[in-house]
Amino acid sequence: MSGNRNTRVKICGNTNVEDAIMAAKAGADALGVINVANTRRYIDLEDAKKIFEALPVFVSKVVVVTLDNMPIEFVHDKIKSIEELGADCIQLHGEEPMELVAELRANMESKIRIIKKVGVGGDKDKCLENALAYENVVDAILLDTVIGGTGEIGGTGKEHDWNISKEIVERVKKPVILAGGLNPDNVAKARALVKPYAVDVSSGVESEVRKKDAVKVKKFIEGAKSANR
């Protein structure tokens, strides 16, 4: 979905209220928390609720989860818990099959939106095929770097081929969010080439794992939004 003139910014991997408020004041459009066990930026839903309750009303609240290989009863309970938090979006960051995502969409009681991660790396045609497969059952596609064998679901700090992402943006009709290796020094270039609906950053604005750097956050948001003016 190309032609976006006003790039949005999502700061993800927030672990505390102070960092989230700082990012919101710096101009972030969305704040993400990661509720995926055994990942470096994991927080539980109680802590996520505290962060969300502290945010300004016009900042979107995103919960990142992985729901592949989970019993369907667990999946529905998880979705209900996230809906009760007051989240605006749920970001599916695993290998959830299209059929599961479609079922979640059909059974959701709230107006929470679904973002689906599509990994970028290797075969360009496969990446595009994956993105197109999900576009009719989600509200947005998020493109993140695939690194085989690491076990990481994001926050790797590694770039992928932005030309693949550019083609996906041009072909997919839903909003596309660019993630993967973005930082204050490269976000303006990535934005200009790919023209995504939004950009997403986690490790690229940290002073250390789980702690955001106010200077980096401000510089990243300014770089992402510089072309908007």
Q: Select which of 77, 144, 161, 200 is catalytic.
A: 144
Annotation marks residue 12 as catalytic = yes
Residues 43 and 134: their CA atoms lie apart, in Å, by: 27
Q: Cβ distance 7 to 224 under 8 Å? A: yes
Annotation marks residue 19 as catalytic = no
DSSP letters spanning 85-127: TT-SEEEE-S---HHHHHHHHHH--S--EEEEEEEESS-HHHH
Phi, psi of 216 (to 5 degrees): -65, -40
Q: Which residues pair with 177 in a beta bridge?
A: 142, 198
Task: Centre a 10 Å sphere on the Cβ of residue 163 and count the other Cβ atoms it contains.
Answer: 11
Q: Select which of 12, 89, 127, 200 is catalytic.
A: 12
Q: Which residues are catalytic?
A: 12, 144
